[in-house]
Chain A
Amino acid sequence: MWTGLCTSAQDPTTQFQIFGHVTSAVEQENNERFSDFSLGEHDFFVQSKITPRISFLSETVVAPLNVAGHGMTDFKVSIERARLKFQHREWFSVIIGKMHSPVNYWNDVYHHGRLFFPTIDRPRSFGSVVPIHTLGLRLQGQNIGALNFGYDLVVGNGMSSNDVSDGSLQKSFTAAVHIKPEERMRIGISAYRDQIAANSVGAHSGHSSTFHYMMGSPNWYPVDLDFELYCFSLYRKSSKWETLLETSWNRSGLSDSNDPELVGGLDSLGTSNNYTFFLFAGKTIGKKKRDQIYGLVDLTDFEERDLHIKSNQLMKFGVGWAREFSPLVNIRAQVERYTGNEGFEIPKDDKWELKVRVAYCLY
């Protein structure tokens, strides 16, 4: 095991890993039942120390074309991360390329490695407000001082850009800070700002379009929107307990760049305030400490006045069990109840789901 990391004492060093998962689900939704086995994302991870101070990292993912619902018919290939890092000192690194936006703990730590996920699915905020990637420039400092303070400042292509480039002058900005008072504890806050051109959904908006207004859908307006996202994350792991809290506050409204005559009927909407809340808590059980039982709560609340994300008040509750066979293979079984409130553009969920997932890493 881990022979992939062995070197013959020669620089530079490169290591390759593959992360993957297989999932099986049984659902009951509105008196209809479904079941399936599905191949999930397969993630080819490369990390290379090119020189003592310059390193490269990439994740190339082969993923189902449509990750929502039962419409998966094929796979697509996507470069999810490809970044070059120059490290000057602990307190200052420069990173350039495509990276996961460091807005919250989940997106900055788990990326596409299902092996590391504490639950089977990402929080729902990932399909709505979290700008998963940024293609741009990042300044980073970490493990500074007694509290292991860290910062990330990012400027890059915004949420309406495509996966390759961005045709607009407008860029997104991220500022995130965190502290690690204990080794397996991290508290972080972040602010993200972008202008979404023509209310479009680009490559970095998320991995599901269920929540977004898209061209051609009712109530879609091709207007520029100011988008702000503020996140708070708390992660802690002790010998028995593991906890992750992810919360976000999103504000979006008409941008000043719009033609006043064209948005005259919309400016009374003002700015929408949307919230997401995700809490995971797990307890390690068993003598060998390889099993964990856990619970999760995932809530979203998006106002009707929002022009970018369809209004909803959705809730998900779940309990699960996980077992680690080795650091490189684990299995999770999770029972989830999807529900919510009526009266919003996205109808209330009424679904039970049992999911089992095996996640692995290969060297």
Chain B
Amino acid sequence: MGAEGPRCLLSLLIAMRQILLFLLLAGGPFLWGQEGIPIGKGLDAKPLTSKQLKEVFLGNRSIWNNGNPVTVVLTSSHSEGFAKTAEWALNADAFDYQKHWLSLVFQGRTNAPVFLSTEQAVIDYVQNHDGAIGLLFEAKPPEELVVSLQ
């Protein structure tokens, strides 16, 4: 009888975690206004706001507060994910978003994003690089990489 209490509490916590994870994966995108699931590794401990996340994908952030460099990881400029990211971040099409990055890098104000051919490659890259961040639209994100958002 004495062990029932902690066991119930543990079950409750696990259930709550599952619900939160479900909300994050399914409802989160609706809440923060973009369809993709942000994944990252070695980012700030504090959850990002929607505005902060957008600033990252606009190339306006180069260093995380923990000192890791920001590396934006995108799928190819012909991909659907790239177009969706462009629409969400810049309110523009893939054409303009590509020009945006080309210009920023040429100015020397930010490092070039990493372009990879598939979302699985994005996951693999993020897993191996502290400070890397990407957006997934189709691939299932590994739980440990999903970025916490406010």
Contacts and interface: CB of A to CB of B under 8 A. Distances in A.
Interface of A: 1-3, 5-7, 9, 11, 13, 15, 17, 45, 47, 49, 52-53, 55, 57, 81, 83, 85, 87-90, 99, 108-109, 111, 113, 115-116, 142-143, 148, 183, 239, 289-290, 324, 326-328, 361
A113 B106 contact: yes
A9 B129 contact: yes
Given A49-B111, A83-B108, A90 B102 contact: no
A108 B114 contact: no
A107 B54 CA distance: 27
B98 A327 contact: yes
Nearest to A43: B106
Contacts of A361: 102
B115 A327 contact: no
A6 B116 contact: yes
Interface string B89-109: 011110100110011011111
23 contacts: A1-B77, A2-B76, A2-B77, A2-B98, A6-B115, A9-B124, A13-B112, A49-B111, A52-B69, A52-B131, A55-B108, A55-B111, A85-B108, A87-B63, A89-B63, A108-B107, A109-B103, A111-B106, A116-B106, A143-B60, A183-B90, A289-B93, A290-B95
A324 B115 contact: no
B135 to A, nearest CB: 17
Contacts of B106: 17, 45, 111, 113, 116
B62 A90 contact: yes
B78 interface: yes
B128 to A, nearest CB: 6
Contacts of A49: 69, 111-112
Contacts of B145: none
B4 to A, nearest CB: 49
Given A90-B63, A143-B61, A327 B99 contact: yes
Contact of B108 (A6, A11, A57): A57
Contacts of B77: 1-2, 327
A64 B94 CA distance: 35
A204 B93 CA distance: 38
Contacts of A111: 106-107
Contacts of A290: 95
Given A2-B98, A7-B114, A15-B105, 4 more contacts: A1-B76, A5-B113, A6-B116, A9-B128
Interface residues of B, number: 37
Contacts of B124: 9
B53 interface: no
B112 A116 contact: no
Contact of B55 (A45, A85, A143): A143
A116 B95 CA distance: 14
The 5 closest A-B pairs by CB, nearest first: A52-B69, A327-B98, A143-B60, A327-B99, A57-B108
A109 B107 contact: yes
B58 interface: yes
Contact of B62 (A11, A87, A289): A87
A183 B111 contact: no
Interface in B2-53: none
Given A109-B103, A111-B106, A183-B90, A5 B62 contact: no
A3 B76 CA distance: 8
B68 interface: yes
Contacts of A2: 76-77, 98, 115
Contacts of B90: 183
A326 B98 CA distance: 10
A102 to B, nearest CB: 10
B125 interface: yes
A81 B61 CA distance: 23
A112 to B, nearest CB: 9
Contact of B95 (A45, A99, A239, A324): A324
Contacts of B116: 6-7
Contacts of B95: 290, 324, 326-327
A90 B68 contact: no
B102 A6 contact: no
B105 A47 contact: yes
A82 to B, nearest CB: 11
A57 to B, nearest CB: 5
- Considering residues B58, B63, B108, which has the most beta carbons from chain A within 10 angstroms of its beta carbon? B108
A5 B58 CA distance: 17
Interface in B115-150: 115-117, 124-125, 128-129, 131
